[in-house]
């Protein structure tokens, strides 16, 4: 039976890796769960582990923060001896963070199979560090697990072999559906003084939105105008809180501490609408049928626009307000992409367990034999 190292680096990775670990272990595979420590603090990552029912990592690398180069380099230096010692059949990486890229590079050079979960997503915005991570990780991976048909089309257009590409669905949806009832049953809304269907939920963390004080200030002022129509609750990412120091927050905008996974799902489920720059939240709101307004100029998840509840509206105050009021007045279609059914982790495990022992490494030249 195969041995898989399953890697997580940031909190969203925990949501994505849990269904893969469960699927592999239910089929008799040995798994080693590695947390690189790109995001790690007990108040947040520890809560996510508990909320998801995910065991403590078998290995914690503790790489911490830093520039993109520093962080990726530390991941690689820390992960290389793990691969050398354990000699896994496959290294499974998820998402698009620096840990994803660093561990994929180490595994590919060590001769292990590399499996990328969430392969094929493209924003085509090369100013996003995540886009670089996504494209390079796919390039060194052997198995490409795509969450949606548009991701498959991207991989096909880039010349990947048909037997590398697997349309499996969305692992974030697996975790969402598995935990939704538990989340709804919590007292999250009551504790925050909120009423289901009568508030807007906001998240902001991307550098383009929070590192420029002028852009962030404009967004905060816009949220104040949204709050004239309904209360706004804003769990504040640490990166964003630092930028808000000393700024007056408009009436009706409630800044709250970052939430654990179950509490945040409860907030999403109860919201009248969500305003965000997160990729994963675009997917979760689509499954929940909650209107989502994405405060970016593009998205690597266009399926949530064509087949979901998401609109990409940019940052213009006028456009944000107009979209908010239109959604509140008229609602938004509720659709869900194919295979977003809670079984993506099982499909991934089936491919890996059946295929890895017989499979050779992919050639560097995708057209070579």
Q: Which helix (H) or strand (E) holds 215?
A: helix 213-226
Selection from 139, 154, 67, 151 nearest residue 105 by Cα: 139
Start-to-end CA distance of the chain, whole Å, equals: 27
Contacts of 121 by beta carbon, 8 Å cutoff, 6+ apart: 96, 134, 147, 151, 154, 279, 300, 301
pLDDT for 41 equals 61
CA dihedral angle for residue 82, residue 18, residue 139, residue 127, rounded to 10 degrees: -110
Helices (H) and strands (E) in the chain, counts: 16, 13
pLDDT in tens, 300-326: 999 999 999 999 999 999 999 999 999
**Catalytic residue at 205?**
yes
Contacts of 173 by beta carbon, 8 Å cutoff, 6+ apart: 283, 284, 287, 340, 341, 342, 344
Q: Which two tokens stand for residue 142?
A: 């052997």
Residues 68, 205, 237, 269: which is the catalytic one? 205
pLDDT for 286 equals 97
Ranges of the chain whose pLDDT falls below 70: 39-44, 356-369
Selection from 86, 33, 22 nearest residue 349 by Cα: 22
Compute the distance between CA of residue 110 and CA of residue 84 in angstroms, rounded to an integer. 7
DSSP state of 163: G
Residue 360: other Cβ atoms inside 10 A: 7
pLDDT for 364 equals 46
Selection from 182, 194, 239 nearest residue 50 by Cα: 182
Domains and CATH numbers, the chain: 3-169+343-358 (3.40.50.2000), 178-330 (3.40.50.2000)
Compute the distance between CA of residue 338 and CA of residue 14 in angstroms, rounded to an integer. 23
User: For helices 68-86 and 98-110, what crossing angle results, to 10°?
Assistant: 40
Beta bridge partners of 167: 146
Sign of the C-alpha dihedral computed for residues 268, 238, 312 and 303 taken in this order:
negative
Q: Which two tokens stand for residue 87?
A: 């000699």
Q: Mean pLDDT over all residues of the chain?
A: 93
* pTM of the shown model: 0.93
């Amino acid at each position: 039976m195969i041995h898989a190292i399953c890697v997580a680096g940031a909190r969203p990775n925990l949501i994505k890796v849990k269904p893969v670990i469960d699927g592999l272990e239910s089929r008799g595979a040995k798994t080693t769960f590695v947390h690189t420590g790109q995001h790690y603090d007990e108040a947040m990552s520890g809560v996510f582990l508990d909320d998801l029912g995910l065991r403590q990592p078998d290995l914690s690398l503790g790489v911490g923060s830093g520039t993109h180069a520093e962080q990726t380099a530390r991941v690689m230096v820390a992960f290389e001896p793990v691969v050398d010692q354990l000699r896994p059949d496959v290294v499974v990486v998820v998402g698009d963070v620096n840990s994803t890229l660093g561990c994929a590079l180490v595994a590919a050079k060590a001769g292990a199979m590399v499996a990328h979960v969430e392969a094929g997503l493209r924003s085509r915005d090369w100013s996003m560090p995540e886009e670089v991570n996504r494209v390079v990780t796919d390039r060194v991976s052997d198995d490409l697990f795509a969450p949606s048909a548009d991701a498959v089309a991207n991989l096909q257009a880039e010349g990947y072999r048909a037997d590398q590409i697997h349309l499996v669905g969305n692992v974030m949806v697996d975790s969402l559906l598995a935990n939704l009832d538990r989340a709804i049953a919590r007292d999250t809304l009551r504790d925050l003084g909120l009423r289901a269907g009568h508030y807007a939920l906001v998240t902001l963390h991307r550098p383009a939105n929070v590192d420029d004080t002028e852009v962030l200030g404009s967004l905060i002022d816009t949220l104040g105008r949204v709050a004239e129509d309904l209360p706004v609750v804003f769990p504040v990412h640490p990166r964003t809180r630092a930028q808000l120091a000393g700024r007056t927050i408009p009436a009706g905008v409630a800044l709250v501490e970052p939430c654990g996974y179950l509490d945040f799902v409860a907030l999403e489920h109860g919201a009248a609408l969500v305003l965000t720059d997160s990729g994963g939240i675009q997917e979760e709101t689509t499954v929940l049928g909650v209107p989502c307004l994405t405060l970016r100029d593009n998205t690597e998840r266009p399926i949530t626009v064509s087949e979901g509840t998401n609109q990409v509206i940019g940052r213009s105050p006028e456009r944000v307000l107009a979209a908010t009021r239109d959604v509140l007045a008229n609602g938004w279609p509720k659709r869900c992409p194919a295979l977003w059914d809670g079984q993506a982790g099982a499909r991934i495990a089936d491919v890996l367990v059946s295929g890895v022992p017989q499979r050779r490494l992919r050639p560097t030249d995708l057209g070579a034999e």
